Structures are given as C-alpha cells and as structure tokens.
Amino acid sequence: MATFSSTGKCPIVGATMLLLFGLLMAWLDTTGAQTGVCYGMDGNNLPSQQEVVDLYKSQNIQRMRLYAPNQAALQALGGSNIELILGVPNDALQGIAGSTSTASDWVQTNVVAYSSTVKFRYIAVGNEVSPLNGNSQYVNYVLTAMQNIHSAISAAGLQITVTTAVETGLLGTSYPPSQGAFSSDVSSYIDPIISFLSGNGAPLLANVYPYFSYKDNTGSISLSYALFTSTSVVVTDQYSNLGYKNLFDAMVDALYSALDKAGGSSVGIVVSETGWPTAGGTSTTAENAQTYNNNLIQHVKNGTPMKSGALETYIFAMFDENQKTGGGEENYWGIFSADKQAKYQISFS
C-alpha cells in the first residue's frame, strides 16, 4: 500500500510522474532537433521514389523537404511517418496568386488527397524568390499565393503551416549578427510576408550556406569557423557581447535580428537548406562535408547564441544531382550517390 504525505499526495506516484514528464520533455526536445534532408530530383539516374523513402527510413531520417509535388513520392510517403515540407514551385506562383480556384485545386490534388497518410509539416510557397537575385518576376505573387494556399488549406479543414523559403542574400547587413537587417531594396517584398507569418504563428524558412560565405571570403573566414570545428570564440559581437564559434550561428542570428527589426520578433526560423558539397569548389571534399553535416546535426539541438532550444534544420541534399545547372559544386551536394551508397558516414540517430 502506498504511504501518503500530510498533503494527500503519494511521493512514489509523484516521483514517477516527474520521471515520465522528464522523459516526455527529452523526447520532445529530440523530436524538435531531428534534422531532415532535402530530396532534390534534378537527376536522370536517381532511385525510384519508393526506394528513396525506404532509404530515409533505414537511415532514421524523419523529415523531408520536397521542392514540388511529385505524386509517386507522395504515395511512397504514405504511412511512413516522415514529416514533409512540400514546396509550391516558383513557376506555379502566378497561377495560384491569380485564382483562388487554382489554389484550391492545387491543395486538393497535392495535399488533401494524401493528408490521411502523409504528415505535412509546412507548405513552402516559393523558394528563394527575391527582388535581387534574378527571379524578381515572381516577387509580386508570393504573398498572395501564400494567402490563397492558406485559405484553401483552412477551407479543407486541415491545419498545415504555410510559409516561404528565402535566401540570406535578402540581408543588407549581416555583421555583426546583432546588426542584421534586411536590405532596404527588399523591404516592400519581405515586410508583408513577415506580417503574414507573424499573424499565423508560422516560421520563416531560410536557406543558410556557410559554404558560400567561406568560398567567397577565404581570406577572412577560416575553414574551422565554417565547419563547426573552432574550439574557441572567433567572433565577439560588440553590441550584444555574444560569442560565435561558427559561421552558421552568426548567419542565423543575423536573420533573427533582421526579423526583429522588421516587426517579426515572434517569427521563428527553420533552416530549410544547408550543407557542404563534396567536389567542384573550394575545400569541397567528402571529409569536409562529413565534418560539417555531422557537426551540424549535433549543434542544432541547442540553437544559437541568440536563441536557445532546438533549431529545425534540413541538410541539402539526399543525392548528387547530375542535371542541376550552374556547374562547379552544384552537382555534388548529396549525402548519397545515385546508387544509394553513402559518400561518407553520417548519423541521424
């Protein structure tokens, strides 16, 4: 028989409940920190969609980013418990922005039809649309497309977060991190999007690439700072007094600062792409990619100097893609080769 204290509570039961609560919190923290992988399809030699989903499961990769609807991939994801970011591709934005029925049709075909078996986490409306980077023809459609997709999802009785993915090139100031701010040239584009995200409790997806910053500034950025291998503070932000041992944190915190200055202090960040290529560029080796990605998986469990807590992150990419344009390192971001062989050892456990 349990012995009760004078308060009427059983200490054994109370201790058990505390233990269970602690285990639940640890599980939730691990779930929040689970790093996903982007599934790009710009290759003519890639495995079937079912084989890809099976590979995700065998590697304990619990989250996927898919850049556009692919019916075979969505069917393969059914019942897998893999959480999905599904993209609305840039070339579909104008039609969806211009017609609520087009938005509804897109949601019915690509989301509602699979919603009973596929775990949709976010709908990413557009990828890296910017007034500055050469795809400015889409700028006027992103927000309205987000609104129409959001309305269509709500009308279907679903609760799936709608957002968009941006590049760090939208920042006019990124150093030091506390002074991060969006360029004045993009404020008329990004500010209403931030307002939408804030009003709907949605995060901003951001593609964050220390590799490119390192590649473009090898004289001032050390490889260890880019690869998470610095053992001491490399950069101290004179305004916040926060210390930075790696470039990834500095870039993410610059985005947090920019969001705050744009009225989005409540808007979180999901790192929707990051990674390190294995060939074709500067310091592009399998060893460096292994170092970056394995360190990343562990590092994002604890957040950044500015924001503690798990930072949801997606590695780019699952496979090398032999049909990506741009040359150089563009074809060599894969964790796996097209034959499903790991290019280096990596652990998602």
Which among 182, 175, 234, 179 is positioned nearest to 204, based on CA atoms?
A: 182
Query: 21 or 184: whose pLDDT is higher?
Result: 184
- The mean pLDDT value for 183-210 works out to 98
- The mean pLDDT value for 207-211 works out to 98
pLDDT of residue 34: 84
Contact call for residues 166 and 241 (beta carbons, < 8 A): no
Cβ neighbours of residue 137 closer than 8 Å, sequence gap 6 or more: none
pLDDT of residue 14: 45
For residue 329, how many other CB atoms are within 10 A of its CB?
19
Which among 341, 222, 207 is positioned nearest to 278, based on CA atoms?
A: 341
Amino acid at 243: G
Tens-digit pLDDT profile for residues 255-295: 999 999 999 999 999 999 999 999 999 999 999 999 999 99
In whole angstroms, what is the distance from residue 92 CA to residue 235 CA?
A: 42
Q: At what angle do helices 142-155 and 187-199 cross, to 10 degrees?
A: 20
Provide the CATH topology of domain 35-331: TIM Barrel (3.20.20)
pLDDT grade, residue 327 (50/70/90)?
Answer: confident
Instruction: State how far the alpha carbon of 266 is from the alpha carbons of 121, 252, 257, in Å.
Output: 19, 15, 11
In whole angstroms, what is the distance from residue 240 CA to residue 229 CA?
A: 23
pLDDT of residue 44: 96
pLDDT of residue 192: 98
Report residue 96 as tokens. Answer: 């969806």
Q: Does residue 252 surpass a pLDDT of 60?
A: yes
Tens-digit pLDDT profile for residues 140-154: 999 999 999 999 999
In whole angstroms, what is the distance from residue 194 CA to residue 262 CA?
A: 8
In whole angstroms, what is the distance from residue 250 CA to residue 263 CA?
A: 20
Which ranges in the chain belong to alpha helices (H)?
A: 11-33, 49-58, 71-77, 93-98, 100-110, 142-155, 187-199, 210-216, 223-226, 247-261, 286-299
Give me the active site residues, please. 128, 273
Tens-digit pLDDT profile for residues 33-71: 589 999 999 999 999 999 999 999 999 999 999 999 999
* Entry pTM: 0.91
pLDDT of residue 145: 98
pLDDT grade, residue 32 (50/70/90)?
Answer: low
- Please report, for the chain, the start and end positions of each structural domain, with discontinuous segments joined by +: 35-331
In whole angstroms, what is the distance from residue 21 CA to residue 7 CA?
A: 21
pLDDT of residue 349: 79
